[in-house]
């Protein structure tokens, strides 16, 4: 199983990658949506975890591009955003087709539970 983590914050990206590796995924990483889409095309991941607010290409556009290329792709959208805007961005990501949303900060177990539930949907 392959996963792609897209987040402009290196520490958060590496943390999410480590959690997914512990869950058995081969993890690829990108610092923004533009780079992430290029990796997506090369790797064809089974799961994508993407931040929403990023430079170059933000998460909403990235989710649209990913789902246009592969409508069945499980995507988890994460965002810390602004204190008031984060929920709105995540709600928009869900409306655009992200299978799950997760506000930052989150606990390791919350992410693992989402990943497990998405994996069971596709099995």
Q: What is the pTM of this model?
A: 0.94
Dihedral pair phi/psi, residue 8, rounded to 5°: -75, -20
> What pLDDT was estimated at residue 81?
64
pLDDT per residue over 94-111, tens digit each? 999 999 999 989 999 999
121 pLDDT tier (thresholds 50, 70, 90): confident
2-116 topology per CATH: Rossmann fold (3.40.50)
Dihedral pair phi/psi, residue 47, rounded to 5°: -155, 140
DSSP conformational letter for 24: T
122 pLDDT tier (thresholds 50, 70, 90): confident
In terms of Cβ atoms closer than 10 Å to its own Cβ (0-12, 13-18, 19+), residue 7 is buried
CA distance linking residue 30 with residue 8, whole number of Å? 8
Pick the more confident residue, 121 or 13.
13
> What pLDDT was estimated at residue 14?
98
């Amino acid at each position: 199983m392959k996963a792609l983590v897209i987040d402009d914050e290196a520490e958060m990206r590496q943390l999410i990658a480590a959690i997914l590796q512990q869950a058995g995924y081969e993890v690829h990483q990108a610092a923004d949506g533009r780079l992430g889409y290029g990796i997506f095309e090369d790797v064809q991941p089974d799961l994508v975890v993407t931040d929403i607010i990023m430079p170059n290409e933000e998460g909403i556009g990235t989710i649209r591009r990913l789902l246009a290329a592969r409508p069945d792709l499980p995507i988890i959208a994460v965002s810390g955003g602004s204190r008031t805007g984060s929920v709105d961005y995540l709600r928009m990501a869900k409306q655009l087709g992200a299978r799950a949303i997760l506000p930052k900060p989150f606990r390791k177990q919350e992410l693992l539970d989402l990943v497990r539930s998405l994996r069971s949907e596709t099995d």
